[in-house]
Structure 1
């Protein structure tokens, strides 16, 4: 074992050096394993010495405070991921120490990554083009044909935009000699760049002075170059670029939303896109809009159910044909994932000599593809010396897990089964040299300790060649003997700092002001996003109505306040039961009913269930919601998830959540641009508030209602102060009905909501040709006319019920008109406005 070099007595006298000595006194480099802190000669690397000296200038209390600030930012911003095979999101596990790499070493690594990216691009051009590599025996045909990622449907198709690889990534680690080795190539749809960006934002904010003093290379120029390269690949000056995501249930959906927001791309799913002619279009609330570039995070085989996997619901029918007609640039080109096959690794050194007349600048793990007789015999003869992997898939065919299989650790029967499988179908397997991952320091309760890591480095193809992100995506395992690291249990991420001896420029994604055309709207609004915004507003408004009923029910048991008659209590209970917020129960069970309606997870209409529905809906809008808005929603869910024990707890939780709903409403009113997105969010709130208010009026402003029922209604719709300021008498039926239903000046009345809906619908683009008034607008105008000409004395339970049904019809008409699903999604009027 190799320990850190000692510290002189003079240096130990200084507090900073004493702290460094304390942190590192038990740091041990594992035998035979390269380490980032301790070099091959046993001495600390200079870049880490410099870092710890600067880090030690912070007091222990300040360090903990900054660690806490980083964790709090992750929690409040909702930075999450989903481990493979799991349904629930997890908080992003960020290591508090970065991975450090010196600038000189980084430049050598960049040159090797660029060489590798260029080689893979040349190989892809040949495999899908002339096919000389296979014809001349440089690559066995079986090594290519065995991969499900080799797509025959794009053979002979030149990539629109001119490239197969727009973004390349390599997973790397240090080899036994201390140099960097490639562990895997990522050419399909490389993930992690968005998380790398988020890691940088969090850590550079928590340790701003340290980050600046270390002269860390910025990542913004990389993203700027990548964005510009995609823009330049299109065939018009101001292209529309989309990021294709599998949706919010993807393991890395947060990253997709982060990249879309940071780069200014539209986040789209397959259902958002449609083929018209030889182009791809986005379904928007203004009709179909042409899409020029598609940065995909969906695997190739799922991109087009017509020509690829027919079971896919993630892609766009007809996309491959559009690519043939050069109607859209797709990055990376479908079929590029074939270069991730381990079967090809053993051929890359000779291919490098063929294309470049030079060796690979960075080696990869020695790999033997068992599809070749000589390699298969060598693997079988020394089976215990190899790690066996799938040649084309993660893990080993026929064995559980996504990692390598070590024959030496298998039972005799399993070992025989593996050997037989390799003998019978060797092309599905590779043997790789046994390699343990190198280690890097992590912070562990006031000490540093080594942990295995994998670094993913990204390269973007630009007009000026390949640009490498100065940093990357680092994953760290908690187990010392880890042979592979994925974002599952016991894994954390780390920011990657490329440290320079010189000051670095502070580059951002903001271009020069004179090169940007002024805009006042953010661009098109996909129909799916509009649908989710509309329902986000409805879910939150439903939750508010339920919370007000819960509060009213809880207050009736508080004898220090005015008690509610049992007759009125029964009406509240019936509403909660009818809304699916609580189970039916006896009058003596009001405490249970209030608690259920507040936080019963199995009741679809409870406040907790509605807030969770709102959170799920908001999760698919991450690129459109501010961190503050997301934080409010998550805090409401957390509060309602806490167990309450008495009536006071129920009332308190309801009141606090109502205040947070008011906060969200304020954020949406004051911070969202008055574009189509805001309109649909507000339309959802207005439609749901109008429906709920009409329903509450029908329950508590019926013909025989007394002043107590009317008083409850005024409380539920938050009109007590307004009524008392106008009338110096107890609540009376006609004035209450007028205030709650017909008053256009009352922001809580039905008339006010209907007027707002009319304004919103009138402000949205028309989808029908010929200038005919569309159904949602027609229904809204009719409702406004009814309420404008109505009189309180003429309202009764029957007319209130009819009003409620008309409001429900209007809400449904908005949904079916602007958010079409299924066969109606391509109806003729949606083909207008193809700009």
Structure 2
């Protein structure tokens, strides 16, 4: 079948070549929508929609290999940047599962969707204003009190509290699907802390890279205006003109932590955890390296019950003690307001049509799934006698109870299960609702070169702005790998798709760039949160420690190779090398006397050894994962490549050459990471803490290596190994032509300020970093890190290499350790009792 023979294909832009027309024809002939279920590819008359034919026709012009290659190259971005999600209850992250085919919606239909969710957002705002304000709806019987107070998301402490900034909901989302009649229906409301907007950004980035020409030709609505509006709305909630906005995350083990980090980076917000914030005198502050800085607005991604352990869940480690009191007195705007999650309860769905007429004076434009709350006798009786209804929880709960966490179709239950369900229903009818069974509509997906229908859920976002409500022109779409589902979560068998809203005219390209007159130029160092500084500092230390271990392992490997480099292969030098690895934690004590190859393998790959290379690299990756918003995609890619290159489940099969090759590759990756940090990172406080961690670790390692290998009875092999570990062989050979000698080796490795690997150079660099960091003291006295470093610098500058012995080197090493502790105590403010060293008054 040629393009002209395909129903509706005559409206496609241009003509397809023969091969593309055949591929398009095969896709359409092989596509089998589920009977009785609406499908996005076909309109109600059964003809393909024009914009879907346009897209599929353009897609068919790629050969199968080219299509696969294009999408593979684009999705490599997902792996390289660590785009991921975590399924609830699982420890490991999963790579982001993106479909190569977007969900496409025409602009006329989208206008109806946008109008429906915008009205629903206004309704939700008015509902919250009454629930936590006058309470007229309950008093007049429009809402049963138990339908609200039965929800764990109803926060009684927020009754009567006016929201700082004037709004309860800053971001609202609705999960949508098509009903049997083809109309869009609301499957659920998201008012607590809606997720998915950041993932939609990533989906758009990947697909626009895969098909750039097709994307532009289709006139797809851009997402940037929505996020600009969201940012303006958050800024409006603050008292100050230039507010500090934070995104409060549950932490790196959150199911959607990547999305939170990505949003914070994209919008320019500080990503903070509960321990990063502190409340003093009714105001919220973020702990930074420059002390406490006032926070004006918090966009929360922590559920309300966990935001304040003083007044809510006392077991919470995710929140901020005293945060609710700060909200009460207007000291900080927290959005969405704690307690807004009560509107996610399915118990309220049946009341919304009447409530819309009462509060907005309008009919509800977009209905939700028919729902009956069993807290009312007549509704309960209807649910009990209708076996085709699904009985599910009325409220959101996290307890491990299958009857209160997912809907159950009565007809699918065994007699014993049905008896238990109705017993629970008799005991606490308010905890249950009955709902019509939702059968999701379908959208095309590509599987193994074939076009197939997949059930989907579309999440649409609405942001409150100074100019009203703004609907994201697109959304977060989840598709299922199974043909018949009643709900979709990002677990097994679920994928995600970009959402393209198509217009008839070319779309103006817009960004988040602000007007030049609206932005005040600034160059500041003190915005870095203490936790981020701590993580950057330890990221630097882990990477440097991994490099030092790799150099030790390389020396072991070269000792086994038949070459001139094999001068450490036997005798006391090899023993000292193994002792260093044992003291390092890369080998266990039983490794002494084993074959050097076995020791090298274990030092590279033993996951149980806290000093092994793979252990250190994974520690670096975990540390980096907790601050993704501060690391470039290139940095993250290099770090993942470094880890993947070290994973070797069959390490017992590694030869000396294989082990050496792994070591060399890992050292090259570390060199690339170091170069990226030096050349691409802004010279702000974050870079300084990353480099300080490396310099401190390198200084400590140099002291340890030198103490072990530069004793009075040191051999030529010992000194040669020391120069190898300090990466100073070339410099020494160029400077000294008489061969190896203890005193000049000591001077070069420990005291030479011009050698970038020496202890002296690390101290000079550390002094430069400290002098550039903000000071907290106002009395003119020197702070403790600077005090320690000044003493250390004086000792190194006045030290003679001929007089340098093990005791003095140990003293220098201990001084570096004290400096590390002093830096942590000064800059990494931790714990609820951490206070700044200057008064809170006047803190910006």
TM-score, length basis structure 1: 0.97
Other-structure match for 2:586? 581
In 2, are the aligned partners of 1:701 and 1:710 still within 8 Å (CA)? yes
Other-structure match for 1:621? 627
Other-structure match for 1:337? 341
Tell me the distance in 2 between the aligned counterparts of 1:668 and 1:594: 29
Gaps of 5+ in 2: none
Q: Closer, same or farther in 2 for the Cα pair 1:803/1:455, shift >3 Å?
A: same
Other-structure match for 1:513? 516
Tell me the distance in 2 between the aligned counterparts of 1:442 and 1:429: 35
In 1, are the aligned partners of 2:372 and 2:379 still within 8 Å (CA)? yes
In 1, are the aligned partners of 2:174 and 2:188 still within 8 Å (CA)? yes
Which residue, out of 209, 223, 229, partners 2:227? 223
In 2, are the aligned partners of 1:389 and 1:395 still within 8 Å (CA)? no
3-state SS of paired residue (1:453): strand
In 2, are the aligned partners of 1:24 and 1:447 still within 8 Å (CA)? no
Corresponding pairs, count: 831
Q: Deviation digits for residues 752-774 of structure 1, max 9, x if unmatched?
A: 10111111112111223312111
Tell me the distance in 2 between the aligned counterparts of 1:300 and 1:578: 47
1:42-53 pair list within 5 angstroms: 42-53=46-57
3-state SS of paired residue (1:385): coil
What displacement does 1:648 show? 0.9
1:156-305 pair list within 5 angstroms: 156-305=160-309
Q: Deviation digits for residues 316-341 of structure 1, max 9, x if unmatched?
A: 11111111111111110111000000
Q: Deviation digits for residues 82-116 of structure 1, max 9, x if unmatched?
A: 11110101110111100000000000110011111
Tell me the distance in 1 between the aligned counterparts of 2:475 and 2:646: 38
In 2, are the aligned partners of 1:166 and 1:460 still within 8 Å (CA)? yes
Tell me the distance in 1 between the aligned counterparts of 2:117 and 2:361: 17
What displacement does 1:12 show? 9.2
Tell me the distance in 2 between the aligned counterparts of 1:635 and 1:357: 58
Which residue, out of 91, 109, 112, partners 1:108? 112
1:18-417 pair list within 5 angstroms: 18-382=22-386, 384-393=387-396, 398-399=401-402, 402-417=405-420
What displacement does 1:424 show? 1.5
Tell me the distance in 2 between the aligned counterparts of 1:441 and 1:111: 25
Other-structure match for 1:472? 475
Gaps of 5+ in 1: none
The answer to whether structure 1 residue 673 and structure 2 residue 677 are counterparts is no
Q: Closer, same or farther in 2 for the Cα pair 1:13/1:311, shift >3 Å?
A: closer
Q: Closer, same or farther in 2 for the Cα pair 1:353/1:8, shift >3 Å?
A: closer
Other-structure match for 1:446? 449
In 2, are the aligned partners of 1:84 and 1:251 still within 8 Å (CA)? yes
Tell me the distance in 2 between the aligned counterparts of 1:288 and 1:826: 8
3-state SS of paired residue (2:664): helix
Tell me the distance in 2 between the aligned counterparts of 1:324 and 1:816: 33
In 1, are the aligned partners of 2:155 and 2:339 still within 8 Å (CA)? yes
Tell me the distance in 1 between the aligned counterparts of 2:548 and 2:752: 20
Which residue, out of 774, 791, 806, partners 1:797? 806
Q: Closer, same or farther in 2 for the Cα pair 1:251/1:303, shift >3 Å?
A: same
3-state SS of paired residue (2:30): coil
Q: Closer, same or farther in 2 for the Cα pair 1:438/1:401, shift >3 Å?
A: farther
Tell me the distance in 2 between the aligned counterparts of 1:489 and 1:405: 20
Q: Closer, same or farther in 2 for the Cα pair 1:6/1:214, shift >3 Å?
A: closer
Which residue, out of 637, 640, 645, partners 2:643? 637
The answer to whether structure 1 residue 739 and structure 2 residue 748 are counterparts is yes
Q: Deviation digits for residues 12-71 of structure 1, max 9, x if unmatched?
A: 983322110112222111111111112232221222112112222323332112111122
What displacement does 1:7 show? 5.8
Tell me the distance in 1 between the aligned counterparts of 2:635 and 2:220: 32
Q: Deviation digits for residues 497-555 of structure 1, max 9, x if unmatched?
A: 00111111111111223332223347600000000000000000000000000000111
Other-structure match for 2:507? 504
The answer to whether structure 1 residue 717 and structure 2 residue 722 are counterparts is no
Tell me the distance in 1 between the aligned counterparts of 2:407 and 2:480: 16
Tell me the distance in 2 between the aligned counterparts of 1:398 and 1:268: 32
In 1, are the aligned partners of 2:526 and 2:685 still within 8 Å (CA)? no
Which residue, out of 705, 708, 714, partners 1:696? 705
Q: Deviation digits for residues 711-748 of structure 1, max 9, x if unmatched?
A: 00000110001101110022110000000001111110
The answer to whether structure 1 residue 607 and structure 2 residue 616 are counterparts is no
3-state SS of paired residue (1:460): strand
Per mean C-alpha deviation after superposition, the further-off stretch among 16-25 and 616-625 is 16-25
The answer to whether structure 1 residue 527 and structure 2 residue 536 are counterparts is no
Q: Deviation digits for residues 581-621 of structure 1, max 9, x if unmatched?
A: 11232434221111111111111110000000000000011
Tell me the distance in 2 between the aligned counterparts of 1:51 and 1:523: 49
Tell me the distance in 2 between the aligned counterparts of 1:452 and 1:177: 16
Superposed CA RMSD in Å reads 1.8
What displacement does 1:253 show? 0.5
